Amino acid sequence: MPESEIRKGLAGVVVDYTAVSKVNPDTNSLLYRGYPVQELAAKCSFEEVAYLLWNGELPNESQLAEFTARERAGRALNPVVKFAIDALPLTTHPMDVCRTATSIIGACHPLAEDSSVEGNMAKAMELFAAMPAVVAYDQRRRRGQDVVEPREDLDYSANFLWMTFGEEQVPEVVEAFNVSMILYAEHSFNASTFTARVVTSTLSDLHSAVTAAIGALKGPLHGGANEAVMHTFDEIGIRSEESLEEAASRAKTWMEDALSQKKKVMGFGHRVYKHGDSRVPTMKAALDKMIAHYGRPELLGLYNGLEQAMDEAKAIKPNLDYPTGPTYHLMGFDTPTFTPIFVASRITGWTAHIMEQAAANSLIRPLSAYNGAEQRSL
Ligand SMILES: CC(=O)SCCNC(=O)CCNC(=O)[C@H](O)C(C)(C)COP(=O)(O)OP(=O)(O)OC[C@H]1O[C@@H](n2cnc3c(N)ncnc32)[C@H](O)[C@@H]1OP(=O)(O)O
Ligand SMILES: O=C([O-])CC(=O)C(=O)O
């Protein structure tokens, strides 16, 4: 087969329909079930967006009340999961902790093998409710701290921060976190969602599909980029006494040097968007608010310096992982916790796709062109 017919990385290949979200790189827009993500981020809670992704419509008041009650009832850390996390070394990467916790939640689930619409919806809801406790506790145990019990009077985002830090956060911080969760929730056939769909297409179960998706998200070419962005900032050096201009100038020099060495700089570029990620302006506005709230202009200097130098050298724009990295850093999350936060959000999109795949399934099995040894005999 001629090389020109090979679609490496499935780039540009349309493999199926989806009604969950529409990514349009020409208009730089992203719709969840028809709604622009920017509008959802401005006006909705993450719980409403989760409901929308799973049900196709936003909830009315009573639907939201019922949904919220179920989410709040499922927040406590499962004792079996806690036991397993405690058995893992403190050096275990938090993404491996999330992946392991998901697998255990699945293995213990009474509906583990039930892939009916009702079974999948119940499991998706429970995993969505349970993941913040996993992410929060893992960060806390690495700091030598105990579990913080969930608070039923707080919404999803406020409770996530409460369980992580053991302190209630001010509304500006909760709002910025809520925005990030909504923006991370869904993005059509990205690598991790496609992974979840591949697993589902074999008629495997929801937790297997999500466990595999977490593995796909971990890599720095995908979700792991938010963690990698912070490593870049650390490598350049965060100097709290520095002015915005001084930080920007050092960051520009760093980027020029990195690009001259042909390095890939995480947090920039995208397979689908070639003129900028539709979600970045909304997340950058949230980051700006956090920079003002925490009084850290030098981080904006680093952010601007890298962005400008990349734009001047290669016209490559930041993706969503670029503004979320420093935002989570400012909020007090450890850098390796950043991608698990993405997991907690993307569970909604993954499971919406798992249910969509299951409803109109066809085994996903592409072809390959053989380029190994010619047929031979022993
Ligand atoms: C939420 C998310 O998952 S968003 C994505 C997060 N991932 C990252 O931030 C990782 C860094 N970015 C990348 O590696 C890429 O931009 C990808 C993988 C996301 C998309 O890449 P692709 O569409 O496959 O493009 P590809 O990697 O072939 O890049 C095309 C060209 O742009 C360059 N390029 C793309 N991204 C970058 C980058 N971040 N830094 C430096 N150069 C880059 C490539 O080196 C290549 O240059 P060349 O043609 O001179 O060889
Ligand atoms: O769409 C992609 O390839 C990656 C991405 O931005 C996401 O999953 O949010």
Q: What is the mean pLDDT of the chain?
A: 97
Structural domain including 61 reads 21-220+336-359
Rounded alpha-carbon distances, angstroms, from residue 33 to 50, 129, 173, 279: 11, 22, 27, 16
Q: Which ligand is nearest to the CA of 232?
A: 1
- In terms of domains, do 191 and 101 share one? yes
State if pTM tops 0.90: yes
pLDDT tens-digit series, residues 58-101: 999 999 999 999 999 999 999 999 999 999 999 999 999 999 99
Across residues 265-288, what is the average pLDDT? 97
- In terms of domains, do 206 and 319 share one? no
- In terms of domains, do 174 and 247 share one? no
Query: 3-class SS at 82?
Result: helix
- In terms of domains, do 90 and 158 share one? yes
Is residue 2 very low, low, confident or very high in pLDDT (cuts 50, 70, 90)?
confident
Asked if residue 12 belongs to a domain, the reply is no
Q: Which ligand is nearest to the CA of 274?
A: 1
pLDDT above 90: residue 238: yes
pLDDT tens-digit series, residues 132-156: 999 999 999 999 999 999 999 999 9
pLDDT above 90: residue 123: yes
pLDDT for position 354: 98
Output the ligand 1 site: residues, CB below 6 A: 9, 220-223, 225, 264-271, 314, 316, 319-321
- In terms of domains, do 345 and 321 share one? no
% of the chain exceeding 90 in pLDDT: 98
pLDDT tens-digit series, residues 340-355: 999 999 999 999 999 9
Asked if residue 173 belongs to a domain, the reply is yes
Is-catalytic flag, 109? no
Asked if residue 374 belongs to a domain, the reply is no
Is residue 10 very low, low, confident or very high in pLDDT (cuts 50, 70, 90)?
very high
Query: If you take atom 35 of ligand 1, which residue's CA is the nearest one?
Result: 269
Rg of the chain in Å (alpha carbons): 21
Residue 277 alpha carbon, nearest atom of ligand 1 = 4
pLDDT above 90: residue 173: yes
Residue 287 is part of a domain; what is its CATH number?
1.10.230.10
Nearest Cα to Cα of residue 213 among 378, 356, 351: 351
- In terms of domains, do 180 and 276 share one? no
- In terms of domains, do 177 and 59 share one? yes
- In terms of domains, do 174 and 36 share one? yes
Query: If you take atom 9 of ligand 2, which residue's CA is the nearest one?
Result: 187
Catalytic residue of the set 222, 277, 329, 353: 222
Query: If you take atom 2 of ligand 2, which residue's CA is the nearest one?
Result: 190
Tell whether the torsion through CA atoms of 133, 171, 339 and 20 is positive or negative: positive
pLDDT tens-digit series, residues 291-344: 999 999 999 999 999 999 999 999 999 999 999 999 999 999 999 999 999 999
pLDDT above 90: residue 1: no
Rounded alpha-carbon distances, angstroms, from residue 154 to 102, 112, 140, 167: 24, 29, 20, 12
Residue 180 is part of a domain; what is its CATH number?
1.10.580.10
pLDDT above 90: residue 4: no
pLDDT for position 269: 98
- In terms of domains, do 253 and 115 share one? no
What's the domain count of the chain? Answer: 2
- In terms of domains, do 171 and 257 share one? no
Q: How far does residue 131's CA lie from ligand 1's centre (Å)?
A: 30
Pairing state between β 21-24 and 29-32: antiparallel
Across residues 95-117, what is the average pLDDT? 97
Q: Which residues 6+ apart lie within 8 Å of 165 measured at CB?
A: 148, 332
pLDDT for position 135: 98
pLDDT for position 373: 97
